[in-house]
A and B are shown apart, each in its own frame.
Chain A
Amino acid sequence: MFVLEAKNVSKKVGSRTLINNMSFGVEKGQICGFLGPNGAGKTTLIRLLTGLIQPTKGELAINGICVTKDRTKALMNLGAIVESPIFFPYLTGKKALLNLARLHPQLPRTQRKAKVKEVLEKVSLTHAADQKVGTYSLGMKQRLGIAQALLGDPSVIILDEPANGLDPMGMRELRSLILQLREETGISFFISSHLLDELQQLCDHLVVIKQGKLVWQGELGDISGTPLFAYTLSPVDKAQKLIQQSYPVQRISKNQLNVEISEDEIGELNKVLIENEIQVLSVEKKQKRLEDAFIEMVSS
């Protein structure tokens, strides 16, 4: 059973289709990245998953419980930050969490304070617990956002662009926190982001959407597709004309080409190049960046 699942979900508003027949699932313990260009429908889908809006068609489920049919029960298994973690600025971090802890019926009254202390420790905000949330930095608010998501011991946490506005240090801290939480508690994460390098370091599963449609989903390693090799050649123009008859090739500098080719075929290509009096000065394997793969997917 998926901890988070969308089955043939569509959302229309008037004549506009915001989400078009989308299906995907997040397994237990997975960190799933959710990618898409601006306006693709990421925030709309997150609002659907959290029951803030209703789908036109299809089903969304959290731990097998349908969000549309039994929203209150489904949300008991979910923690989320939707758009950004906006708290009540006049409350301290501790009071804000205590106030929200009241809203978890599965958390007995006698355990609320202990739970709040526990989640503050997990997100390293104990030192700032008695400061007003209005004085927190963005990074601290993000961490407090994760703390409030942890209050109900969820099986899955949805984060909507959590690294937005964070400096590199803040991003690293957030990344470590997410990985640590997954390690310690087995919580699954569903993270929407534009920061592809961040997702590349964090996620093991990806869902990519464009204009409300799913364009790709799978393991992070699979997105790389056919490997790239950087060839340094001379004369490079002659080499480019020869290679592009058989393989996708891209000129990247005066005498370098990126060639999409499997490792098995390198020997054969090198032989052909040498036979045509082209010098092969070096061959280097390049990991296809998530950014390149993403741009390819959403541009096609």
Chain B
Amino acid sequence: MSLIASEWGRLWSRKVTWLLFALLPILMLVTGNYYHGKNDGIAPGSPGYTTWDNFPVMALSDQLMTVFNMILLLLFVFSITEEYRTGQLRMVMIRSYSFTQLLVAKWITIMSIMVLFHGLYFLLSYGVGGLFFDTSPHLYFAYYQDPIGGGPALTYTIRYYALAFLTLVAVSWLITFFAVVSQSTTTAIGVTLGFLLISFGYPQILQTFTKGLNPPLDAKWYFISLTQIQTEGIALALGQTSKLLNFNAGVLFIYAFAFGTAAYLFFTKKDRFI
């Protein structure tokens, strides 16, 4: 706990952490304004029409793959790569804690900050949503044939946010791995963004190369991509007829386990500090 408290204190002493939180309301206002403008061309009650009830989901689905992944990336790179490469981490490493404890403490600290961020985003989305949109008893979420509203809409939103956080857990271990192995913060950021970009482009490329296949390619192949799970997989899993929930959960677990194990092995390597 002391190690986590120490990591927590250091992360919150950085201006960048506060800046990321300060950006939240601005981000929310911009997103609200965007969807407000988009509503002009859509009839109320139609699929795609944004209301106060579904704005939190719309706002998150828009920013999960970009903003949230980026925030996670910055926090891990500052906490791991920068501290290690500048030598700041030595001050902690020569204390009576194992390298495993240190890595786990850093991960828990950053994910705790992400829980805060996630929660604040959820609350702000209702606040800002109230400024731009009216409530509606009938609204459509993605992959819903029938409209829902009220309590079921809130339940859907909470489940969406929960699954979104699970995808961030998987992404966090991927980022931890790159943060541990990279020689500089620039490399860590570059390599991670490159990986996410490939992950984003993969479904598009797959679709191009498998167009016209008969029978068509199993949809599961598309959801090997982390970003595809973030942009579409959550909605698919929470649809009126849930699809690929177990498969996508399995993919997330494999990413988390594989990159998490690799990060652990590299961080605790015997002669890492030779």
- State whether these chains interact: yes
Q: A residues touching B (Cβ–Cβ < 8 Å)?
A: 13, 44, 47, 50-54, 71-76, 78, 80, 82-88, 90-91, 95, 98-100, 102-105, 148, 152
Minimum CB–CB distance from A106 to chain B (whole Å) comes to: 9
Find out whether the CB atom of A91 lies under 8 angstroms from the CB atom of B13: yes
Interface centre among B14, B98, B274 (most CB of A within 10 A): B274
B3 to A, closest residue via Cβ? A103
Report Cα–Cα, A82/B273, bound state, in Å. 11
Report Cα–Cα, A50/B99, bound state, in Å. 13
Report Cα–Cα, A285/B93, bound state, in Å. 49
Q: Which of B233-274 contact A (CB under 8 A)?
A: 270-274
Q: Given A72-B96, A86-B91, A90-B15, are A99 and B9 also a contact pair (CB < 8 Å)?
A: yes
**B10 in the interface (beta carbon within 8 A):** yes
* Interface residues as binary, B46-83 with A (CB distance below 8 Å gives 1, 0 otherwise): 00000000000000000000000000000000000000
Find out whether the CB atom of B273 lies under 8 angstroms from the CB atom of A52: yes
Find out whether the CB atom of B274 lies under 8 angstroms from the CB atom of A100: no
Q: Which residues of the other chain, A, contact B273 by a CB distance below 8 angstroms?
A: 47, 52-53
Q: Which residues of the other chain, B, contact A148 by a CB distance below 8 angstroms?
A: 91
**B211 in the interface (beta carbon within 8 A):** no
Find out whether the CB atom of A99 lies under 8 angstroms from the CB atom of B96: no
Minimum CB–CB distance from B22 to chain A (whole Å) comes to: 17
Find out whether the CB atom of A99 lies under 8 angstroms from the CB atom of B6: yes
Find out whether the CB atom of A90 lies under 8 angstroms from the CB atom of B13: yes
**B94 in the interface (beta carbon within 8 A):** yes
**B204 in the interface (beta carbon within 8 A):** no
Q: Which of these, B88, B95, B270, B272, contacts A103 with CB under 8 Å?
A: B95
Q: Given A84-B87, A88-B10, A103-B3, are A47 and B274 also a contact pair (CB < 8 Å)?
A: yes
**B86 in the interface (beta carbon within 8 A):** yes
Report Cα–Cα, A85/B88, bound state, in Å. 8
Q: Which residues of the other chain, B, contact A90 by a CB distance below 8 angstroms?
A: 13-15
**B210 in the interface (beta carbon within 8 A):** no
B89 to A, closest residue via Cβ? A86
Offer 11 A-B interface pairs, CB within 8 angstroms, sorted by A: A52-B94, A53-B271, A71-B96, A71-B98, A78-B94, A80-B94, A88-B10, A95-B9, A95-B13, A102-B6, A103-B6
Find out whether the CB atom of A13 lies under 8 angstroms from the CB atom of B96: no
Find out whether the CB atom of A86 lies under 8 angstroms from the CB atom of B88: yes
Report Cα–Cα, A44/B38, bound state, in Å. 63
**B209 in the interface (beta carbon within 8 A):** no
Q: Which residues of the other chain, B, contact A78 by a CB distance below 8 angstroms?
A: 94
Q: Which residues of the other chain, B, contact A80 by a CB distance below 8 angstroms?
A: 94
Minimum CB–CB distance from B267 to chain A (whole Å) comes to: 13
Q: Which residues of the other chain, A, contact B27 by a CB distance below 8 angstroms?
A: none
Find out whether the CB atom of B97 lies under 8 angstroms from the CB atom of A72: yes
**B131 in the interface (beta carbon within 8 A):** no
**B197 in the interface (beta carbon within 8 A):** no
Report Cα–Cα, A90/B93, bound state, in Å. 19
Find out whether the CB atom of A54 lies under 8 angstroms from the CB atom of B270: yes
Report Cα–Cα, A281/B272, bound state, in Å. 62
**B92 in the interface (beta carbon within 8 A):** yes
Q: Which residues of the other chain, B, contact A52 by a CB distance below 8 angstroms?
A: 90, 93-94, 273
Q: Which residues of the other chain, A, contact B5 by a CB distance below 8 angstroms?
A: 102
Find out whether the CB atom of A13 lies under 8 angstroms from the CB atom of B274: yes
Report Cα–Cα, A50/B91, bound state, in Å. 11
